[in-house]
Structure 1
Amino acid sequence: MSLDDILAHGSSFQTASETLRLVLQRVSVAGLKLHPQKCRFMRKEVEFMGHRLGGRRHQHTAAPLYHLLQKGRGFTWMPHCQQAFNYLQKALTEALIGCLVQMFFIHSIGAFQSTLLVWMALDRYFAICTPLYYHERMALTRFLKFIIPLVLRNVFMDSLLVSLAGKLSFCRNVMNHCFCEHMALVELACGSTAINNLVGLMTVVLIPLVDFIIITASYIIIFSSVPKSGGSGVKALQTCVTHIVVIIVSLTIALVAFLSYRIRNGLPAESRVFFSTMYVLFPNCFNPITYGIRTAKIRQNKSVK
């Protein structure tokens, strides 16, 4: 016979000690043994089944609701009970809303990074393959047809992702992550998350994967047109090196972050948090350095010539 968890609490050190003494006495009488490394004593807060119990954040506010459930007391719903219920409901729902808002902006930033690489690939395509019409093609009124559809796609998919996550029922309220990430939040849900996983997969396919296909197609055309353009095309192609490096790094991190939640194989939770954090932070820190180094080299070569 084995027991998973035993919780003993008290409102003071004396009552907690007395409760603990009774629990240990019952365990001894039953002939059970406790694992020393799993025992925690005199904690102000404990995490149990995904919930953080204890603390004083809502202790006094929830007291009227707690007294309703005490043995020997009648269940009478008073105005102060309704006030306590409204306060706790507001605190829990606002926390979820704040998490969903943060999730939307974080995923929007990630989608924008991918879409920005598409716009840069189109810029290189027009500059190398149609240099005489570059300014005409890159005019704002004409380039908007490449901007607006991709922006609407990103906003729609991110909004759908967040709205479906907000409709879930959660069994736990402790997220093992440093920010509100979609898969980390979905893991806290009680019921089926098949639709959320499907929409998450669709988001990956429709944003980074489609962007990667567009970028790859544009560079295939660019590379095929360079031999025909002679030396000027080769010089123009040198400006694409930085863009290609940024694409490889960004998409590699995005792929690793995505697979870390789909393919577990004993991967520590800290590793998943690290990869998903790098997906947001690393491109923003790495790209300026890459472009800065490359621009300095181009300027240096021009000054030497």
Structure 2
Amino acid sequence: MVTNVSDITVMLIMEPLALTTFSIYPAFVFGTLTYVIIVFCNLMVLTAIGLNRRLHNPMFILLFNMTVNDMMGTTAFFPQMLLSILTQNRSISYTACYIQALLTHMYGGGSLLILTAMAYDRYVAICRPLRYNSIMTPTHLIRLIIMIWVLNIFLMMMLLGLLLRFEICRTTIVDMYCNNPSLLKLICEDTRLNNYYGLALIAFYQGLSAFVVGFTYLQILLTCVMNKQSDAKSKAIQTCGTHLVVFLFLECNSCFALTAHRFESVSPFLRRAFGVSVMVFPPLVNPLIYGLKTKEIRQSFRLLFKRNAFS
């Protein structure tokens, strides 16, 4: 049966969670605690950066934007998933599914762009330290951040906007949450333009971020090798190593999750596991890595707690 996507009452069915009666409430409690921890940790990072003027420099302002982006992604995923666990109802309206897909793709694309900008910032700070303040000026930083958000929103709205041309003939979402590949599988018409545009976006995001991060970290590595100051070398390696681990995890996970839909031989369970990990682990790990391993943020945390205790 063909259904008009303009009908906001159309209900879709997502993949069942396959939870037993005894595991429903433990799964709900575990998911709720995970979501609360993610929100709390990210809010702490946002508060620490927002209230401490000493942290209002390019590196931490980019980290602030990454935290906002992580909050958007995790909020697009967890509330709907927790409701599904509690009610054991996997139905979702097409409109809600479309919005969730838009937010999740904006989150994924934004993460790669912001991590790329952070790599560029570290490159200038380590390889061009004398010119850092003249290159990463407030005006340049604001332009960079605006470009990241505007470009990401525009490209993802175009991606999901191409779906509005079609009517759907199926109502089963083949993933744990809504995304562009699963929405495309609801359509029985020719979707080659959507597929070409989706592949072009994957190549753009993954290729641009991989090239910039690869080039900048190669330059950083060469600078660290030639730097005879052991303290500066260890600090640079620690800062960049943390960023590189986060980037590689997101790059590999997101690339596999997006391309796995195009190969029937890929295990559906493996595809869903990678898709869920992209939505859960970066928002959970990022504030812990950057918050606990960054000296300035740890000091801001302590100062914030002392103020509250004194009050």
Q: Give the shorter-chain TM-score range.
A: 0.5 to 0.7
Alignment of 1:1-305 (within 5 A): 89-92=7-10, 95-231=93-229, 233-238=232-237, 239-265=239-265, 267-268=267-268, 270-292=269-291, 294-295=293-294
Q: TM-score if structure 1 supplies the norm length? A: 0.63
- The separation in 2 between residues aligned to 1:116 and 1:157, in whole angstroms, is 15
What per-residue deviation string (whole Å, max 9, x for no partner) do you get for residues 119-149 of structure 1?
Answer: 2112211211122232332222022343333
Amino acid at match of 2:200: M
Structure (1/2) with the larger helix percentage: 2
Q: CA deviation at 1:166?
A: 2.1
Q: CA deviation at 1:266?
A: 5.1
* 273-282 or 156-165, larger mean C-alpha shift: 273-282
Contact 1:154–1:207, Cα closer than 8 Å, also in 2: no
Percent of aligned positions that are identical: 27
Q: CA deviation at 1:225?
A: 2.1
What per-residue deviation string (whole Å, max 9, x for no partner) do you get for residues 143-193 of structure 1?
Answer: 234333333321221011111122222111121223211101101111111
Q: Could you tell me which runs of 5 or more consecutive residues in structure 1 were left unpaired when the two chains were aligned.
A: 1-48, 52-87, 300-305
Contact 1:172–1:189, Cα closer than 8 Å, also in 2: yes
For these two proteins, the number of residue pairs brought into alignment is 215
* 158-167 or 91-100, larger mean C-alpha shift: 91-100
- The separation in 1 between residues aligned to 2:129 and 2:246, in whole angstroms, is 23
> Helix, strand or coil for the counterpart of 2:278?
helix
From the superposition, tell whether residues 191 and 293 of structure 1 become closer, same or farther in structure 2 (CA, over 3 Å): same
From the superposition, tell whether residues 135 and 193 of structure 1 become closer, same or farther in structure 2 (CA, over 3 Å): same
From the superposition, tell whether residues 174 and 263 of structure 1 become closer, same or farther in structure 2 (CA, over 3 Å): closer
- The separation in 1 between residues aligned to 2:256 and 2:234, in whole angstroms, is 34
CA-atom RMSD, angstroms?
Answer: 3.0
From the superposition, tell whether residues 266 and 257 of structure 1 become closer, same or farther in structure 2 (CA, over 3 Å): closer
Contact 2:206–2:255, Cα closer than 8 Å, also in 1: no
Q: TM-score if structure 2 supplies the norm length? A: 0.61
> Helix, strand or coil for the counterpart of 1:91?
coil
